[in-house]
Amino acid sequence: MNLRAVATGIGHYLPERIVPNSEFEKTLDTTDEWIRTRSGIERRHFAAEGETTSQMAVHAAHRALEMAELGVDDIDAVIVATSTPDLTFPSVATMVQEGLGMTRGFGYDVQAVCAGFIFALANANGMILSGQAEKVLVIGAETFSRIMDWTDRSTCVLFGDGAGALVLEARTGSGSAEDRGILASDLNSDGRYRDMLYVDGGVSSTGTTGKLRMQGNPLFRQAVGKLAATADAALGKAGLTSDAVDWIVPHQANIRIIQGTAKKMGLPMDKVVVTVQDHGNTSAASIPLALSVGVARGQIKPGDLLVAEAIGGGLAWGAVVLRW
Ligand code: UT7
């Protein structure tokens, strides 16, 4: 029997407040033109005062469960990818359990920054294939607005808040790349790059939350090569090449990185789900948000072959190949 972790529901939540680039012109030496041309971002959503990562995750989870036609008691495990938890502990995942009214199963968080959802998907796949869980909610949720330095124009214009949730269910497949579900993943990290993207505070160092610091240009130069390589590696593990791909679902950090990666993979932009203009960089939430929007737009259809890829703080990067 070949078990597969098959996607049966997807949903997302974006906070109500939408902030256009022009709003930053009032307080920073920046322009809408610079932000658009350098990053592709036009607007982003920011959480309301008091609105937390777990609350956004619960909204997204409800929508994913609805599409999967499942109740909370059907779920065996909740895995949340986040770097912006409500509290240092307990995990956001256990807060999501409580928010959903889920009294069985287990939940925990995964922290791989912008690559977090990829790591969480690979982890959920392992849980399903090993028989630990049959139905898993995998969520990416972030409130990056809370770790912005609002005086640093090189970072605070790039990030946004939001959440996306995916339901994975154990199904029997044939073992071939024609199966629906997760077909392969490729995970990487290298701590030597930590100064490129980090938060300058934490529990055991400063005792503070800290603010995000990024060397954007050096990171940009790492991103395209590493993303194309990990996407190709994941496709190779599934016995496929990029010719088979219907949709790239990339981490939405910068339109130029998205374009560069597609080009390196030999794929046209009409095979790429792009949401960066509306969401900015929502870190671990960016891929499930893009997946959910791609499905809602009617771009992603059952049977389509997707490759999702992301890179972020660590550096940590990876890709998942999934037949929808
Ligand atoms: O999600 C995790 C992964 N994150 C990423 O992958 C982000 C990767 N990096 C990037 O997306 C890009 O590097 C940025 C969008 C952050 C920056 O684009 P860039 O083309 O690499 O620009 P740059 O950093 O080389 O900066 C060019 C100029 C600099 O001025 P000088 O030194 O040339 O005079 C910056 O000071 O643009 C300046 N600049 C700005 N100007 C207006 C930086 N931020 C701004 C701004 N408005 N907001």
279 is an active site residue:
no
The protein residue with its alpha carbon nearest to ligand 1, atom 48, reads 153
For helices 53-68 and 92-100, angle between their N-to-C axes, nearest 10 degrees: 60
Give residue-wise pLDDT tens across range 215-259.
Answer: 999 999 999 999 999 999 999 999 999 999 999 999 999 999 999
Q: Judge contact between 246 and 270, C-beta under 8 A.
A: no
- Return the structure tokens found at 18: 């939408």
Give residue-wise pLDDT tens across range 24-54.
Answer: 999 999 999 999 999 999 999 999 999 999 9
Residue-number span of the structural domain to which 302 is assigned: 181-323
Whether 63 and 140 map to the same domain: the answer is yes
pLDDT at 1 over 80: no
Give residue-wise pLDDT tens across range 44-102.
Answer: 999 999 999 999 999 999 999 999 999 999 999 999 999 999 999 999 999 999 999 99
**Mean per-residue pLDDT, 309-319:** 98
pLDDT at 262 over 80: yes
Whether 214 and 278 map to the same domain: the answer is yes
Q: Is 316 in the pocket of ligand 1 (CB under 6 A)?
A: no
For residue 177, what pLDDT is reported? 96
| Of 156, 173, 190, the domain-final residue | 173
Whether 251 and 151 map to the same domain: the answer is no
- Return the structure tokens found at 72: 């909370």
Active-site annotation holder among 12, 21, 59, 114: 114
Most informative mutation of 29, 44, 154 for ligand 1 (most atoms within 8 A of CB): 154
Number of domains in the chain: 2
Cα Rg of the chain (Å, integer): 18
Report the run of H or E that residue 157 belongs to, with start and end.
Answer: none
Whether 117 and 165 map to the same domain: the answer is yes
For residue 141, what pLDDT is reported? 98
2 is an active site residue:
no
Q: Is 215 in the pocket of ligand 1 (CB under 6 A)?
A: no
Q: Judge contact between 34 and 205, C-beta under 8 A.
A: no
pLDDT at 291 over 90: yes
Whether 230 and 162 map to the same domain: the answer is no
| Of 154, 173, 192, the domain-final residue | 173
> At 230, which CATH number?
3.40.47.10
Whether 64 and 118 map to the same domain: the answer is yes
Name the region of 116 (left: φ>0; alpha: ψ -120 to 50; beta: rest): alpha
For residue 56, what pLDDT is reported? 98
Whether 192 and 72 map to the same domain: the answer is no
**Mean per-residue pLDDT, 141-165:** 98
For residue 51, what pLDDT is reported? 98
For residue 98, what pLDDT is reported? 98
Whether 6 and 121 map to the same domain: the answer is yes
Nearest ligand 1 atom, CA 31 = 47
SS3 assignment, position 219:
helix
Whether 136 and 213 map to the same domain: the answer is no
Whether 87 and 193 map to the same domain: the answer is no
Give residue-wise pLDDT tens across range 105-119.
Answer: 999 999 999 999 999
For residue 95, what pLDDT is reported? 98
Strand order in the sheet with 135-143: 2-13, 161-173, 135-143, 77-81, 106-110
Q: Is 287 in the pocket of ligand 1 (CB under 6 A)?
A: no
**287 CA → ligand 1 middle, Å:** 22
Q: Is 205 in the pocket of ligand 1 (CB under 6 A)?
A: no
Whether 206 and 186 map to the same domain: the answer is yes
| Of 151, 173, 195, the domain-final residue | 173
The mean predicted confidence, pLDDT, of the chain is: 98
Active-site annotation holder among 12, 45, 59, 251: 251
Whether 148 and 217 map to the same domain: the answer is no
pLDDT at 280 over 80: yes
